[in-house]
Amino acid sequence: MSVKKTTTIVEQLRRAQMNELLALNKRLDGRGLKDHRELRIDVGLIKKANGSALVSLGNTQVIAGIKVEVDEPFPDMPDKGLFICNAEVLPLASPYAEPGPPDEDAIELARVVDRGIRESEMISLDKLALISGKKVYAVFADVSVLNADGNLFDATSYAVVAALLTARVPKYEVQDDRLVKSEETIPLPINTVPVSVTMAKIGNSIIVDPTAEEEACMEARITIATDEQGRVCAIQKGGSGTFSVEELSEIATLAVSIGNNVRERIKNAVAPASTNNDNDNDNDNDINK
């Protein structure tokens, strides 16, 4: 059964300070209301994975790995590959995280990230069929949160997107209805780069990329994924508060413009890796620059 948990408890003094600053369009960490924290993306550091990415969004840190296998397609979609996204908050990620099966927050996290990627049609699943109705590529994206400091939705989404963009999968030849694995590797068929933007509502302010402390004070949260054409692909409202229609209209506009900015950062971060497959690029990808 679904129950709300309490985790971070923010001191009343700090909460008051936060509200005071928000009234002046400022935040505790000095950011503007619509700024993301510093974003760093390192790709390809896990050689055993088909693709991988370590993403830091301020103090939030997540690692995503892509594993590609050959599997049977769903009976109702014989010519479509599979994409499965999973997320977990590791016990080392925060003093409040516990080992065990994923709780409702982790399940929501995985499903919202999955939805953004699936609904934007980032990967052409119909190009992942190997033998119609029998064999298809199955793309598994697994994300682990290493350090939780708010906005796991965006960090996780960026990590999966970066890992997918840089993933290389074995090429198969079909010989007499059987698959033969070749030495060659190919990139995944990518259509678009979806970008997730998460905002929180505290009082009457809408802020982008909330920290854990800000999340503990927020009334409601919203995550919007947009594609390269500026279309909205997936939305999830969370938290026990509400939004007005005007707020929701403004939020969508923001999600597109902020998304465009972040998309460039992600593309820059993966560019060197996807050309030479080598990646010690510790580029500073501060998206607020």
Tell me which DSSP letter residue 223 carries.
Answer: E
Which C-beta is closer to other proteins: that of 42 or that of 214?
Answer: 214
User: Which residue of 110, 117, 123, 145 would you call a contact of other proteins, by CB under 8 A?
Assistant: 110
> Which residues 6-65 are close enough to bind other proteins by CB under 8 A?
none
Q: Is 216 in the site for other proteins (CB under 8 A)?
A: no
Contact flag: residue 272 with other proteins (CB under 8 A): no
Asked whether position 4 contacts other proteins by CB under 8 A, the answer is yes
| Strand ranges for 58-134 from DSSP E | 60-71, 82-89, 129-131
Nearer to other proteins, 45 or 216 (CB): 216
Within 242-271, which residues bind other proteins (CB under 8 A)?
A: 242-245, 248-249, 252-253, 256
Q: Do the Cβ atoms of 85 and 160 come closer than 8 Å?
A: yes
Considering only 222, 266, 269, 287, the residue that binds other proteins (CB under 8 A) is 222
Closest contact distance (angstroms) between CB of 288 and other proteins is 23
The yes or no reply on residue 241 touching other proteins (CB under 8 A) is yes
Supply φ then ψ for residue 82, to 5 degrees: -110, 145
Contact of 289 with 39, CB cutoff 8 Å: no
Smallest separation, CB 284 to other proteins (Å): 31
Q: What is the DSSP letter of 190?
A: B
Dihedral (CA of 234, 238, 243, 247) sign: negative
8 Å CB contact between 24 and 130: no
- Whether residue 237 contacts residue 244, with contact meaning beta carbons closer than 8 Å, is answered with no
Strand partners of residue 69: 138
Q: Out of 64, 128, 208, 233, name the contact with other proteins by CB under 8 A.
A: 233
Residues binding other proteins (CB under 8 A): 1-4, 104-105, 107-108, 110-111, 115, 119-121, 222, 227, 229-245, 248-249, 252-253, 256
